[in-house]
């Protein structure tokens, strides 16, 4: 599963620098797959969809910090626990019950995100 930030977020920003995949963005900030990853040029999602990694994507929230689920690996392969949740002073970085991924899937995502580094 991925981690999500709930609307209890106080926008302190403690979580953002902790993410090894650069999956956390400030409210209203655009994001790219290439931010903090090894992804460059056209990336293939393996389901027939492709995208330019440097292409700017719309913010997922205009009100609070947010986590891009396609970049979140719950820190698997980097740390023993999600670092955003470990540093959040209001405990608003929680499991996203709508996105379930196994340990193997999270490791594969980590490898995919950082394959060109």
Give the pLDDT of residue 113.
94
Give the pLDDT of residue 46.
83
Total count of domains within the chain: 1
Which domain, by its residues, includes 34?
Answer: 2-114
pTM of the shown model: 0.93
Distance in Å from the first CA to the final CA of the chain: 24
* Cα distance between residue 31 and residue 46, in whole Å: 21
In a structure prediction context, what are the per-residue pLDDT tens digits for the chain, which is 117 residues long? 789 999 999 999 999 999 999 999 999 999 999 999 999 999 988 888 999 999 999 999 999 999 999 999 999 999 999 999 999 999 999 999 999 999 999 999 999 999 877
Give the CATH number of the domain where residue 25 resides.
3.30.70.20
Return the beta strands (E) in 1-117 as ranges.
3-5, 24-25, 42-44, 50-52, 66-67, 93-95
Nearest 5°: CA angle at 61, between 57 and 39?
Answer: 30
């Amino acid at each position: 599963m991925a981690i999500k930030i709930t609307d209890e977020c106080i926008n302190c920003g403690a979580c953002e620098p902790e993410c090894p995949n650069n999956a956390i963005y400030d409210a209203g900030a655009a994001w790219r797959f290439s931010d903090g990853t090894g992804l460059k040029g056209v990336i293939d999602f393996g389901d027939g969809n492709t995208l330019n990694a440097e292409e700017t994507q719309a913010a997922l929230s205009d009100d609070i910090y947010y986590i891009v689920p396609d970049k979140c690996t719950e820190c698997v392969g980097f740390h023993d626990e999600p670092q955003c949740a470990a540093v959040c002073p209001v405990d608003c970085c929680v499991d996203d019950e709508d996105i379930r991924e196994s340990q193997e899937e999270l490791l594969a995502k980590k490898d995919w995100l950082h394959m060109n580094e």
